[in-house]
Amino acid sequence: MDTIVFVCTGNTCRSSMAQAIAEHKKEEKGIEVEFLSAGLAAWEGAPASSQALQALKEMGIDLSHHRARGLNGEMVARARLLLTMTRSQKERLLALYPWAREKVFTLKEYIGKEEDIPDPFGQDVEAYRRLAQELSSLIEEFLDRYQESRGLTF
């Protein structure tokens, strides 16, 4: 089974939300893929932000079990894809693991877009709601593109 890792800085907002949304959508689509998330500067064991919890709860997704973890070489080696939220995170990941170049993309880059996904850290719950909606759309596009690239139909 393929493993896909969503990567951000602290693993309490964007990447954790992306993982939870992807897990939810894979259930809907019947896709067998393992989704993980990690941070480049994560505080190990920290919970997802309260705003992230609320935004996903409103979408029917439970993020309360999430605990932040740092990206490590084992995760990078295991991953079929590593998807960062920003170009600077991609550059940092590649500086740490240059041998993984062919499997590291920003989430938007993978689906043919260029912008970064903004960090809602420190903002109100409305910013997290907007992020959750954006991630939901992006992950839907990602899953469609990923299925096509793998020649998979579900």
What are the per-10-residue average pLDDT scores of the chain (154 residues)?
96 98 90 95 96 98 97 97 98 98 97 94 95 97 86 48
Active site residue 14: yes
Report pLDDT for 148. 81
Check residue 63 and give its pLDDT.
97
pLDDT, residue 149, reads: 79
Please tell me the predicted confidence (pLDDT) of residue 154.
Answer: 37
User: One of 67, 92, 116, 119 is an active-site residue; which one?
Assistant: 119
Angle at 10 between CA 21 and CA 27, to 5 degrees: 15
Tell me the C-alpha distance between 17 and 3, whole Å: 17
Is 119 considered catalytic here? yes
CATH classification number, 2-150, choose in 3.40.50.720, 3.40.50.2300, 3.80.30.20, 1.10.10.10: 3.40.50.2300
Q: Which of 4, 18, 12 is nearest to 85 (CA)?
A: 18
pTM exceeds cut of 0.85: yes
Domain boundaries, the chain: 2-150
13 is catalytic: no
- Eight-class DSSP state of 48: P
Burial class (CB within 10 angstroms; exposed 0-12, middle 13-18, buried 19+) of 149: exposed
